[in-house]
Amino acid sequence: MNKKTIEYLALVREKTGFSDYKISKEYDINQSNLSKYSSGKAALSETHAWLFANILDIDPAVVVANTKYEHAINTDNNSKAKFWQQQLNKIFSESEPIQIQIAQFNPIVGDIKSNAQKMLNLIQEAYDSGAHLIVFPELALTGYPPEDLLYREGFIEQVNEEIGYLCKSVPSNISVLFGAPQKTNDLLFNSAICIQHNLISHIYNKQELPNYGVFDEKRYFTAGNESLIFECQQTKIGVLICEDQWIDGPISRLCQSNIDIVISINASPFQSEKQQERLDICQKYAKHFDVTFIYVNMVGGQDEVVFDGSSFVVNQNGDVTLQLPEFEELCSMHSASIESYKPINKEASIYSALVLATRDYIRKNSFGGALIGLSGGIDSALTLAVAVDAIGSENVHAVMMPYEFTSNMSLEDSALQARNQGVEFSNIDIHSMVDSFNNSLNDLFGNAKVDSTEENIQARVRGTLLMALSNKHHKIVLATGNKSEMAVGYATLYGDMCGGFAPLKDISKTMVYKLSNYRNSISEVIPERVITRPPSAELAPNQEDQDTLPSYDVLDDILMRFVELKESVDKITEQGHSLEVVNKVTSMILRNEYKRRQSAPGPKISSNAFGRERRYPMTSKFQP
């Protein structure tokens, strides 16, 4: 609220207890001037404004700006009145406690212009809601990971063009912090850019570059070696980028400068139960360095990784004061509060990760929908549920392709699943096609014994039909295989492995059952007997998975120990498993690397997923 000279004079009288005569003498103010001040005929001079501010122990800039505004009004100088009102607004805004908008952001890799426009829209919304600073995740402008796009001629030029566009377009009174690659003297950095007053005010280069798991940052980036602290709203803010917070060095150096807030911008992929690790380390730092810690994470699916968001704020006592939800793109002011932090159900988290990863892969690659080969089994049933929850029943087409070994139960359950989910459902009898293949090959097979070759022909006919429908209707085929099958090669290459995306690729068979029960707890979309019946590929009479494989609880424990924990055969057998079974399973895993190399991508959920994270040679004589 604007104050006038007469009000300031009244405050001086009240604080000093002096009369106007005494004020005039004590502070060497001309009595004539004081009379004009007292009557409201004149505004304080700049010198007297500073004097009164010192007497009242308030910011001199406030008193000067108020009296300059008063003088402009008294002299009908509208342009100066507008100018001084703007200065007052700025002064008052800078005295408010800082408001930081957390943007849990879902970019598209390489769509730099659209990402920038989307960021600008969120910046404007943040400004309108009173934010002083908005923070986006690591490499928000390009999406993460851009991989070898970083080597493309013109890529960094596009990045710089859009940074310039943001500088020119953002409201001048809001600061913006976001991730983008930056090039200096032919060195490329993973950077945080800070825009203030429509200019790049600061650039921070990530110091710790991860080069494990799904990360290849040392392939592209040079490590920075300097901390960044900037001021916003009279608050000292330190910046980290993702891996920087997991190593003591960057934050220890940063907090030597007595900062108020640490902001960590991240592109941290989802991994089951990883959120607690993030909270633990940030709470430790917040308490140790007596700072507020703001963790801002990307959200969304990108090929084989899915980012869960789960951004949060931890105060100096280590308390979680704000927890943003998983797998949702949204913005929140950092000062918003929650009553308590409740750990999220493991199956609910994993299921949400699959839904988001599937939705984003289909949406970001501009497919018109999804095709699923329904078998009547639990894997395809769960895949169907994920697809419908991801993109809506109207965009999903389920296809049943029975042969002579397909049970009536499978036929009935497939039709029931499709009805439950409200999807388009087709039934294509493949007897004539399979018989035609077999007849054409009969002479070439000679008297060879019937084996898995004939079984695989069934699967490959189904794969061909699905891919034909995909071509015709521009819908992506979702492969339905799970991690247990992919591990031991219990799948048909160019058959049931056909597809552009495999939602269950990193989901063990035992977890498939848990996720199916979880999804049914929301609404029953998977028939109960699909969950309870013995699993079967139905490629031969009375066939069951356990004819070829150990029970899935045994198999999945061996897989977890060998693939994720990287334990030796001896160590696995020490856990009570049969040496014969362990040798059989580990041999199957290593022998089927060539199959996995040709499988569809799928979202990483575990600590060691097949695909870009687990890179084993196809040709190898290693004995575990």
pLDDT digits (tens, 9 = 90+) for 229-267: 999 988 999 999 999 999 989 999 998 888 999 999 999
Among residues of the chain, what percentage have pLDDT more than 90? 68
Q: For residue 624, is the peptide bond before it cis, meaning its omega torsion is within 30 degrees of 0?
A: no
Helix, strand, coil percent content, the chain, rounded in steps of 5: 45, 15, 35
pLDDT for 36 beyond 90: no
pLDDT at 180: 98
- As to burial, measured by CB atoms within 10 angstroms (0-12 exposed, 13-18 middle, 19+ buried), residue 173 is middle
Please pick, among 242, 255, 282, 331, the residue that the annotation labels catalytic. 242
The answer to whether residue 206 is catalytic is: yes
Please pick, among 4, 68, 118, 206, the residue that the annotation labels catalytic. 206
Q: Note the pLDDT tens digit of each residue in 397-451.
A: 999 999 888 788 888 889 999 999 999 999 999 999 999 999 999 999 988 998 8
pLDDT at 340: 47
> Alpha-carbon distance 96 to 170, whole Å?
21
List beta partners, residue 521: none
Q: Helix or strand or coil: residue 135?
A: strand
Our measurement of the distance from residue 263's CA atom to the centroid of its chain's CA atoms, rounded to an integer in Å, reads 16
> Alpha-carbon distance 397 to 387, whole Å?
10
pLDDT for 318 beyond 70: yes
Full set of structural domains in the chain with CATH: 5-94 (1.10.260), 100-344 (3.60.110.10), 352-597 (3.40.50.620)
Instruction: Specify the residue for token string 């004939």.
Output: 454
Q: How many residues does the chain have?
A: 624
Mean of per-residue pLDDT scores for the chain: 91
Please pick, among 4, 68, 138, 498, the residue that the annotation labels catalytic. 138
Q: Are strands 299-302 and 235-241 parallel, antiparallel or unpaired?
A: unpaired
Segment 583-589 shows an average pLDDT of 93
**C-alpha dist (Å) from residue 80 to 67, 73, 124, 137, 595:** 12, 8, 27, 41, 75
- pLDDT-derived band at 132 (thresholds 50, 70, 90) equals very high
pLDDT at 33: 86
